[in-house]
Amino acid sequence: MKELHYLDSHAHIMAEEYQEDFEEMLKRAEDAHVDRIMIITLSHEETMRALAFARRDPGRYKVAAGIFPEDVKNVSDEDWQVFEKTAADPEVTCIGEIGLDYYWEKDPEIRKLQREYFIRQIELAKKLNKPFLVHSRDAIQDTYDIMKAHHGRGLMHCYSGTKEMAREFVKLGYYIALGGAVTFKNARHSVEVCADIDENYLLSETDCPYMAPVPKRGKRNEPSYIPYIVNKMAEVRGVSEEYMAEVIDRNWTRFLEGKE
Ligand SMILES: [Zn+2]
């Protein structure tokens, strides 16, 4: 049997949830053949810790840094300058997660500020020739409009919109990352999107420590649970898990390298 390689394109493994069993959690991922993990970091301090850690095995661990939509209201000019510098670090592979969150943010002024920082970070990613990872909650139309007007190389993380909208993102060359929701009984959209879109634009992620897939739903999530997600994706698409994992692996390489 061919060796499987799984991908977790969105993992918050520097989070305090893993302090107790960090090494064991990594070992479980390794045993489950989750061979590439994108570490998402949400603060300068977290980015620095992730960079130091990822040097252990740069082929396996990559680091993304971004200003999260919920944090834009606290960013000073100085913070932005520090962020710009960090983003330019060759060991920071992706810019993210960035985007819009209208679910948590109701204030129109702050929402406007979210859009400004989203655009700023997309433009920075483009200048640095790096891909970006997008968080979008209850804001799909604004997200789309910005990603169309400021077109670059990116993915929709934890995509929860309709399949029609997913098709529009794919038309612009954006990738769609699916996570635990695809295994949930009530998540019709995720399953429809998974079944519908061009396989060359599908990616897998955990968004751990949140969003654990069935049968771990409600528990702390971790990268070693990726096979549950890819197994479900394969089932939905009527292909073997081996085939699905291989397609995702190839898509990820293409995404990181920026080839069409
Ligand atoms: Zn995240």
Separation between Cα atoms, residue 26 and residue 34, nearest integer Å? 9
Q: Which listed CATH number (3.90.550.10, 3.40.50.720, 3.30.70.20, 3.20.20.140) goes with 6-257?
A: 3.20.20.140
Residues 35 and 149: their CA atoms lie apart, in Å, by: 34
- Please report the pLDDT score of residue 1 as a whole number: 55
What is the model's pLDDT at position 157?
97
Distance 168 CA to ligand 1 centre (A): 23
pLDDT of res. 133? 98
Cα(73) to centroid(ligand 1), Å: 18
Q: How far is the C-alpha of 241 from the C-alpha of 235, rounded, in Å?
A: 8
pLDDT for the residue 45: 97
To the nearest 10°, report the CA torsion of 223, 254, 199, 10: 20
* Residue 221 alpha carbon to ligand 1 centre in Å: 12
Distance 42 CA to ligand 1 centre (A): 9
pLDDT of residue 187: 84
Per-residue confidence in pLDDT tens, the chain, 260 aa? 567 899 999 999 999 999 999 999 999 999 999 999 999 999 999 999 999 999 999 999 999 999 999 999 999 999 999 999 999 999 999 999 999 999 999 999 999 999 999 999 999 999 999 999 999 999 999 999 999 999 999 999 999 999 999 999 999 999 999 999 999 988 889 999 999 999 999 999 999 999 999 999 999 999 999 999 999 999 999 999 999 999 999 999 999 998 75
Quote the ligand 1 centre to 2 CA distance (angstroms). 31
Looking at residue 188, what is its pLDDT? Answer: 87
Q: What is the pLDDT of residue 186?
A: 86
Cα 68 to ligand 1 centre (Å): 9
Distance separating alpha carbons of residues 167 and 173, to the nearest angstrom: 10
- What residues pair up with 95 in beta bridges, in sequence order? 65, 132
Centroid of ligand 1 to alpha carbon of 39 (angstroms): 9
Residue 51 CA to ligand 1 center (angstroms) comes to: 17
Give the pLDDT score at 54: 98
Query: At residue 225, what is the residue type?
Result: Y
Residue 12 CA to ligand 1 centre (angstroms): 7
> What is the predicted pLDDT for the residue at 260?
59
Reported pTM: 0.97
- Give the count of beta carbons closer than 10 Å to the beta carbon of residue 113: 16
Cα–ligand 1 centroid distance for 11 (angstroms): 7
Q: What is the pLDDT of residue 37?
A: 98
Residue 121 neighbours by CB under 8 Å, 6+ apart: 66, 67, 95, 98, 132
